[in-house]
Amino acid sequence: MAERSFAQEVGKLRLGAGEEFVGEGILAVTKALLQSGVAYVAGYQGAPISHLMDVLADAREVLDELGIRFENSANEATAAATLAASVNYPLRGAVTFKAPVGINVASDAIANLASGGVTGGALIIVGEDYGDGSSIMQERSHAFAMKSQVWLLDPRPNLPSIVKAVEDAFELSEASRTPVMLELRIRACHLHGRFVAKDNRRSPFALADALENPRRDVDRIVLPPASFLHEREKVEQRWPAAVRFIRERGLNEFFAEGERDVGIVVQGGLYNTLLRALERLGLADVYGRTSVPLYVLNVTYPLVDEELARFCAGKRAVLVVEEGQPNFIEQAIAASLRNVDLPTRVLGKGLLPIAGEYTPSVLVDGLRAFFATHAPGIVAPAAGLPASETAARLADAQRQLAGQVQPRTPGFCTGCPERPIFAAMKLVQRELGEHHVSSDIGCHLFSILPPFNIGNTTMGYGLGAAAASALGSPAGKRAISVMGDGGFWHNGLTSGVANAVFNESDQLALIIDNNYTAATGGQDLLSSKAITRNRSTQHPIEKAVRGVGVKWVRTIPRTYDVGAMREALREALTTREKGPKVIVAQSECMLNRQRREKPQKRKAIAAGERVVRERFGVDPDTCTGDHSCIRISGCPSLTVKPNPDPLRTDPVAHVEQSCVGCGMCGEVSHAAVLCPSFYRAGVVHNPRTFDRFVHRVRNAVIRALQRRTDRRLAATAI
């Protein structure tokens, strides 16, 4: 079960010709796949393309009707290898993942696929996670397209353009016998918009047709001498075919082509931002009509030399607006113009920042600089700039705020079962000293931030244990590696755990088993507890780990038991046992658990059933305001409030209404010998007669005793 239910969106996948689709960019892509007649779809979830996978997981019936096979791939390499079905058969297929990290993993399969070429259209949809909100290293997918000679589409960010790009991509792929990559930036994936739908198409060639009538062509297999043939075929046949297709079908777009003797070449995905910047400078209107010649690259690889020459002919200078680095496109344009001896100046990085996201402000500055030199006078000096009084006021406020506004990084959710694991680790490190901690990708990576400050490196998804390889040597302290269940099944079982067994690594591998790939939106995986309709789950991690030869394994079935967590960690770090030590720390992702349990509890209470709800609180009169509890937790619902005591000044800890009663606060108070201020309040809804009787008896005695105390205190109170 994914974090969101897509039942409503599934309906949108059924829209027919002429009906209007309203929704998110990545779902429009999903619909476009069905309109293109795909026979199979696979992928690995991750922002910003998770919803493509999630909606298809909920759309079993639609997929069955169209005869489409849909797989939640084990990882991106699996997903890319799935495209092998399009090598010999006229089957259209699509795979999707987060880029460039997903392409890194998939690159082996992509390279092999690109070498032999395809018969059916093969599409790789990548969510380019670059700039604001990104959670990965800042690199470009472009390099992969170039190295494997896979065509790269980067359409204008509006739903009709994106949908058209999907449809064009399949045709381009088939026309040039080459896989095609479609790149979508984060905001384009999450873009709300609309387009006019077409009917879904069933693949004319079925998967069963392929299975029942297998075809082989030894020339499509990557082995000498075919591999040498492939390289020549790529440059002699497939590339020219692609260029011809792009030109004939007009995939790239020209605007105001001959209006000035300067122009701009822009990646399609940056078109809207560029037009907003031009509008700020008074060179475009709200409808995107501009007087500045634009050459919009909806296909950023390969470039079409003829189109470039046509656009640049008669222009003194062109500005290349290309996000990220290296500036592959700018370099290629410069070389292309040089080849045909065009004297047009090519500018790009330098006027625009070399690194970082191209926001409207960044482009306004770059454009201003470009026009100042190459088209003086077309931009008014004050265009797009705030009045000086405005700027001064802003600067003043910003100066005041310096040091006040603190970064608010993502962190563990309220009640997250991973929090107590790192609390326990912090406690163990207090006893045994600091350890080297090799982190992984996933929610657990938030441990590197305050208040935990645990983790030294992260080398990629599922590579936590692998990254502790060199540090698996015997020493006074052991390296600790952390891995989520997502990373574990993605590749960590072999790359990390089996590798550690084989190489007799002395590390402690801590595997966090929260039933989902939680960070990508709570998708199911092999070890999920849920019983699902179309997937095989409930395969325990401990069994897998023992299967590859680990001897020392401890499964902690409840991570909130900080004491047991600490015990297990301490033992793993001090045992004389050789080889890797594995701890599997299990508790369900709280976000998903709440989503499941909250409505159930509400319903049960309404139905008159006896339900006990728990939450935690802090007694402000015993809290002394040291906040040790927060430094070992960081829970969003555990915060501070002004001290009600007139003698004290430090704020007291306070538990907000959002507390889900996970129990961590109490366990930490116990394990860390913190403070007796925490209490657990249990609320019994719809109590039974017996409950009420016991309660009345207790209350009568307690009240009487409390009244005595009250009288004693009142006698001397002032």
Partner 1 sequence: MPLFEAERVEQAAQAGARSADTGRRNAAVRPLSIAIFAMGGEGGGVLADWIVDLAEHNGYVAQATSVAGVAQRTGATIYYIEMFPRERAERDGAAPLLALMPAPGDVDVVVASELMEAARAVQRGFVTPDRTTLIASTHRVLSIPEKSAMGDGARDAALMEQACASVARRFVRFDMAEAVERTGSVISAVIFGALSGEGVLPFGRAQFEDTIRRGGVGVEGSLRAFAEGFDRAKASPEGPRAATRPAPAEAPPAHADPRVARLLARLREEFGEAARPTATEGVRRLLDYQDPEYAASYLDRLARIARHGDERLLEAVARHLALWMSYEDTIRVADLKTRSRRFERVRAEVRPGRDTLLSIDEFMHPRLEEICDTVPAWMGRWLLKPGPARRLVERLTTKGRVVPTTTLGGFLMLRTIASMRRWRRSTLRYQRESEQIEQWLERVDRVASSDRALALEIVRCQRLVKGYGDTHERGSRSFATLMACSERLEGRENAASMLRELHEAALADDAGNLLRERVNALH
Residue list 254-293, contact with partner 1 (CB under 8 A):
256, 259-260, 272-273, 275-276, 280-291
Binding test (CB under 8 A) with partner 1, winner from 400, 470, 476, 607: 400
| Residue 223 within binding range of partner 1, rule CB under 8 A | no
Using an 8 Å Cβ cutoff, are 150 and 187 in contact?
Answer: no
Count residues contacting partner 1 (CB under 8 A)?
141
Task: Looking at residues 422 to 451 of the shown chain, list those that interact with partner 1 (rule: CB under 8 A).
Answer: 443, 446, 449-451
718 binds partner 1 (CB under 8 A): yes
Query: Using the rule CB under 8 A, is 604 a contact of partner 1?
Result: no
Tell me the per-residue interface mask from 84 to 113 with partner 1, x by CB under 8 A, - otherwise: ------------------------------
Window 122-181: residues binding partner 1 (CB under 8 A): 129, 132-135, 157
* 408 touches partner 1 by CB under 8 A: yes
For residues 308 and 357, give the distance between their C-alpha atoms in angstroms, rounded to a whole number: 25
Binding of partner 1 by 415 (CB under 8 A): no
Single out the residue of 508, 618, 659 nearest to residue 572, CA to CA: 508
CA distance 106 to 150: 13
Minimum CB–partner distance for residue 370 and partner 1 (Å):
15
Non-local CB neighbours of 471 within 8 Å, separated by 6+ positions: 436, 438, 479, 507
Asked if residue 687 binds partner 1 (CB under 8 A), the reply is yes
Identify whether the C-beta of residue 153 lies closer than 8 Å to the C-beta of residue 298.
yes
382 binds partner 1 (CB under 8 A): yes
Fill in the per-residue mask, 457 to 496: x = in contact with partner 1 (CB under 8 A), - = not in contact. ----------------------------------------
376 binds partner 1 (CB under 8 A): no
- Interface pick for partner 1 out of 213, 388, 409, 689 (rule CB under 8 A): 409
Of 315-323, 459-467, 532-540, 692-700, which part binds partner 1 (CB under 8 A)?
692-700
Asked if residue 640 binds partner 1 (CB under 8 A), the reply is: yes
Q: Counting contacts by CB under 8 A, is residue 680 touching partner 1? A: yes
Give the C-alpha separation, 13 to 66, whole Å.
11
634 binds partner 1 (CB under 8 A): yes
Kindly state the DSSP code that residue 615 receives in the 8-state scheme: E
Question: CB–CB of 493/526 below 8 Å?
Answer: no
Least separation in angstroms between residue 156's CB and partner 1 is 10
Q: Which of 388, 576, 644, 689 is in the footprint of partner 1 by CB under 8 A? A: 644
Of these, 38, 413, 421, 590, which contacts partner 1 (CB under 8 A)?
A: 413
154 phi, psi to nearest 5 deg: -140, 75
711 near partner 1 (CB under 8 A): no
Instruction: Write b or e for each residue in 395-434: b if 16 or more Cβ atoms lie within 10 A of its Cβ, otherwise e.
Output: eeeeeeeeeeeeeeeebbbbbbbbbbbbbbbbbbbeeeee
Is the separation of the CB atoms in 15 and 198 below 8 Å? no
Q: Which of residues 36-65 bind partner 1 (CB under 8 A)?
A: 47-48
Q: How far is the CB of 129 from partner 1 (least distance, A)?
A: 7
Find out whether 189 and 25 touch, Cβ atoms under 8 Å: yes
Q: What is the DSSP letter of 411?
A: -
Q: Is 153 helix (H, G, I), strand (E, B) or coil?
A: strand
Q: Is 401 among the residues that bind partner 1 (CB under 8 A)?
A: yes
Identify each DSSP E strand in 322-383 by its residue range.
345-352
Question: Which region among 227-235, 465-473, 499-507, 636-644 touches partner 1 (by CB under 8 A)?
Answer: 636-644
Does residue 517 belong to the site contacting partner 1 (CB under 8 A)? no
Among 223, 355, 470, 717, binds partner 1 (CB under 8 A): 717
Composition of the chain by helix, strand, coil, percent to 5 = 45, 15, 40
Which residues lie across from 93 on neighbouring strands? Answer: 40, 122
Residue choice 406, 607, 689, 690 for contact with partner 1 (CB under 8 A): 406
Token pair 């959670």 in the structure block, residue: 135
Task: Name the minimum Å distance from CB 553 to partner 1.
Answer: 25
Crossing angle (nearest 10°) for helices 50-57 and 25-35: 60
537 binds partner 1 (CB under 8 A): no
Decide whether 11 or 133 has the Cβ nearer to partner 1.
133
Q: Tell me whether residue 192 is exposed, middle or buried, using C-beta atoms within 10 angstroms of its C-beta: 0 to 12, 13 to 18, 19 or more.
A: exposed
C-beta closer to partner 1: residue 237 or 658: 658
